[in-house]
Amino acid sequence: MTTYRPEVDGLRAVAVVPVILFHAGIHGFGGGFVGVDIFFVISGFLITKILVDEHRGGRFSIAAFYERRVRRLLPALLFVVVACLPMAALWMLPDDLKGFSDSLVALATFASNILFWRQSGYFDTASELKPLLHTWSLAVEEQFYVLFPLLLALAWRLGTRRLATLMLAAALLSLGLAEWGALNKPAAAFFLLPTRGWELLVGALTALACEHRDAGRALPAAAAQSLALLGGVLIAVSILWFDSATPFPGLHALVPTLGAALVLACATPAAGLGWLLARPALVGIGVVSYSAYLWHQPLLAFARLGRWGAADSLALRWALIATTLLLATLTWRFVETPFRTRRVCATRRGLFRAAGLALAAIAAVGVAGHRSDGFKSAFDPGQVARAAAVDALFAERERLVRAGTCQFNASTNPAGVRAFLDRWDCAADRGQPGLRTIPLIVTGDSHSADLVLSLKLNGVVPLQMGGAGCSLTPRYMTRDCRQIFDKLGVLARGSRYYEYVAIANRFDSEEELGPDEIREMVDYWQGLGKKLIFFTSMPDFPLYKASIAHAWPLRANLAMSRWSERPEIVDYLASRGVHVVHTAAFFCTLSPDCGYRDAGGDLLMADPDHLSRAGARRFGAVLLRGDDLFKGIVARAGGATASALVAAHS
């Protein structure tokens, strides 16, 4: 029989707390997302231990296995989902409510990870505003639970040694696919079972390894404690050092997963790290960790959607974390425990029937929300019209920046980056009267496309090539972005006409602008042999569309702008001969108090952090009038397009 190990609950606490802190935006936990990877290892470990014990004792039953999974996972999950319904109706606009409805259907069919993978375009609703986004990991586990017990039953007669060999081969194949995906298809690699399955298999292999320990072939106590401590260090390093720019879940994910495996295999409550993990405080959090995981994302998302504490203050976030733990404790006591102890739905048939009806009801609500366009008819017509006006501005912006043609976006370029580069022709806009070509190359993420639009609407056009979501720091560039920038380098070096390169990004990752990263970025872009211009981050307007629709007051968030124009950054760039444009300062001249409307009442933004046509026109005019370097660049503008110049040197 599998015995209870309190240090495993302690490890669950180590997994869930960083996840919550990461999603709450608590500084210092940039790698907190690896808590999910630790959970995967724990799940694979415990499931395999149970299944191996049952096969050895001749007690294995697939029906009993699924009954345990239903009792463990569904009651708390469905309770939290039902609690989300009134909050979604209260604070979501029709488009968001339709997306939420889709997530209900996906949840009921164990396909949340597939849905969120398909929704993971660069301009999709921000992840922090999706109440059920975190259920993707539950879907991965559920899909694993469908396949793994059956495959284990079929392979059991081979013996545990051959079984371990098969698992290892499958894990290595999955890891290889994950590493390739992290560099080439990061969204798919993040969400889907084939690139996550190896983490669960690491747990399964750890369980088989523990068979040897239990059979009397254990390591000496000192060695076991040292290995457990090493595992704890690996987990800590990944939580504290990784960030959103770390390629994941490829080889980097080995750090937390192997750390978790070492802790599971080697830690004991008697001494060392195992003793620490077995302390009552950590065990208590670990016991309620599943419910805590379920509650944290909806609470944080609805707090943002409902504008609880509009500034998203640190005090509010800590209050939500405390509320998460309180609700988790109550849910564990009054929902999880009664089902797991059979005080509710005592029979297997009754449990399966109730679960089926509940999932069908959730799916029905989701289907109704999808087919009614987010219950649009129930909303105030004025709200719907204002939200539609913002959608129209964004659609116009996409057309004007030639999204998918001049700016690579994986969601709008399904043929891939090579096809995008083959048909790219954005040196200058052919056939448009009144546009003069300037000796400037503009690149970066979608914010660089806004800069190009701002210049075009004021009569001048640079060479444009970039990619949505592309980092300007080489260590963080995906393979697609690297191909784009390599091609741009060929064009830049091959043409004497272009004297300047302007780089513009959102810079929403603090690590992108660390001292080493800044130095690396400048080295890379000055390597093109052009004079470099650096645009600091644009202001952004959280909940922009909702604020317009509900007529809420809204002012710019300047946090990222201020981060990107810190004195140490500006001074270093100046020492390297880089011209710095303080983007927020120019933008904030467009409207009173750095707002989202100009003096004439026109909306300056097409979404929270991209300019509308009116905003781009005004921003470009202010830039060309107020920046002396840009005045000089425009003075050297030519009347002909630069397409022929680029073609001659391609």
How far, CA to CA in Å, does 345 sit from each of 61, 71, 562, 569, 643?
Answer: 19, 9, 56, 62, 72
Rg from Cα positions in the chain: 27
User: How far is Cα 80 from Cα 323, in angstroms, rounded to an integer?
Assistant: 14
DSSP string, 377-410: GGS-HHHHHHHHHHHHHHHHHHHHTTBTTTEE-T
Q: If pLDDT is split at 50, 70 and 90, which confidence band does 2 have?
A: low
Helix axes 348-371, 62-91, angle to 10 degrees: 30
Average pLDDT, the chain: 90
Is there a contact between 318 and 300 (Cβ–Cβ < 8 Å)? no
Give the mean model confidence (pLDDT) for residues 238-242. Answer: 92
Is there a contact between 256 and 34 (Cβ–Cβ < 8 Å)? yes
Q: If pLDDT is split at 50, 70 and 90, which confidence band does 415 have?
A: confident
Is there a contact between 38 and 256 (Cβ–Cβ < 8 Å)? yes
pLDDT digit string (tens) for 465-509? 999 888 999 988 888 899 999 999 998 988 888 999 999 998 877
| Collapsed DSSP state (helix, strand, coil) of residue 501 | strand
Q: What confidence score (pLDDT) does residue 271 get?
A: 84
The count of C-alpha atoms lying within 13 angstroms of the C-alpha of 251, restricted to the half-sphere facing its C-beta, is 3
Q: If pLDDT is split at 50, 70 and 90, which confidence band does 245 have?
A: confident
Is there a contact between 24 and 301 (Cβ–Cβ < 8 Å)? no
| Collapsed DSSP state (helix, strand, coil) of residue 460 | strand
pLDDT digit string (tens) for 86-106? 999 988 999 999 999 999 999
Q: Quick count: other Cβ atoms within 10 Å of Cβ 635? A: 8
Nearest to 524 by CA among 561, 571, 486: 486
Give the mean model confidence (pLDDT) for residues 231-241. Answer: 95
The H-or-E segment that residue 292 falls in is helix 289-305
Q: Cα angle at 110 between 107 and 112, to 5 degrees?
A: 55
Q: The tokens 């009397």 sit on which residue?
A: 216
Q: The tokens 């879907």 sit on which residue?
A: 139
Q: If pLDDT is split at 50, 70 and 90, which confidence band does 645 have?
A: very low
Nearest to 289 by CA among 24, 25, 39, 6: 39
Give the mean model confidence (pLDDT) for residues 331-356. Answer: 93
| Collapsed DSSP state (helix, strand, coil) of residue 157 | helix
DSSP string, 516-534: HHHHHHHHHHHTTSSEEEE
Exposed, middle or buried: residue 648 (CB in 10 Å: 0-12, 13-18, 19+)? exposed
pLDDT digit string (tens) for 27-59? 889 899 999 999 999 999 999 999 999 998 889
Q: What confidence score (pLDDT) does residue 468 get?
A: 87
Helix axes 289-305, 314-331, angle to 10 degrees: 140
User: How far is Cα 547 from Cα 553, in angstroms, rounded to an integer?
Assistant: 7
Is there a contact between 141 and 191 (Cβ–Cβ < 8 Å)? no
User: How far is Cα 291 from Cα 647, in angstroms, rounded to an integer?
Assistant: 59
The H-or-E segment that residue 580 falls in is strand 579-581
Is there a contact between 452 and 442 (Cβ–Cβ < 8 Å)? yes
Strands 407-408 and 466-467: parallel
pLDDT digit string (tens) for 503-528? 999 887 767 888 899 999 999 999 99
Sign (positive/negative) of CA torsion 281, 282, 287, 293?
A: positive
Give the mean model confidence (pLDDT) for residues 221-235. Answer: 93
Q: What confidence score (pLDDT) does residue 432 get?
A: 65
pLDDT at 168 over 90: yes
Q: Cα angle at 379 between 78 and 395, to 5 degrees?
A: 95
User: How far is Cα 83 from Cα 360, in angstroms, rounded to an integer?
Assistant: 17
Q: The tokens 């604020």 sit on which residue?
A: 547
pLDDT at 216 over 60: no
Q: The tokens 């301009």 sit on which residue?
A: 123
Is there a contact between 34 and 258 (Cβ–Cβ < 8 Å)? no
